[in-house]
Amino acid sequence: QSVLTQPPSVSGAPGQRVTISCIGSSSNTGAGYDVHWYQQLPGTAPKLLIYGNTHRPSGVPERFSGSKSGTSASLAITGLQAEDEAHYFCQSYDRSLSVVFGGGTKLTVL
């Protein structure tokens, strides 16, 4: 049972927009701690996708965006491409548990 809750899977057709939610609690996301997102392509290490709720590291396409409100955060991907098929993980900080992750969401591009 992960501290942050993500849907196990989402899917979308090429060109569409998909969102992935990440729901925490008052001891982590609801306490004002930032949410960060990672993309893990098949067989590779995770890669930082979004940090500080909304910021993209250099090299990450503008198609990826993050938002946060209260205990919830979301990752949005617009103009879906086949290469976006991957697992996506959210991460935050918890007052008691330190660094915490969501269980991960598998994105399938139809």
> Binding residues for another protein, per CB under 8 A?
2, 33-34, 36, 38, 44-48, 51-52, 57, 89, 91, 93, 97-104
Cβ distance to another protein smaller for residue 80 or 90: 90
Structure tokens at 99: 């660094």
Report, in Å, the least distance between residue 19 CB and another protein.
Answer: 19
Structure tokens at 17: 């927009």
Cβ distance to another protein smaller for residue 2 or 21: 2
Cβ distance to another protein smaller for residue 77 or 89: 89
Q: How far is CA 36 from CA 13, 68, 82, 91, 109, in A?
A: 25, 10, 23, 5, 22
Q: What is the DSSP letter of 3?
A: S
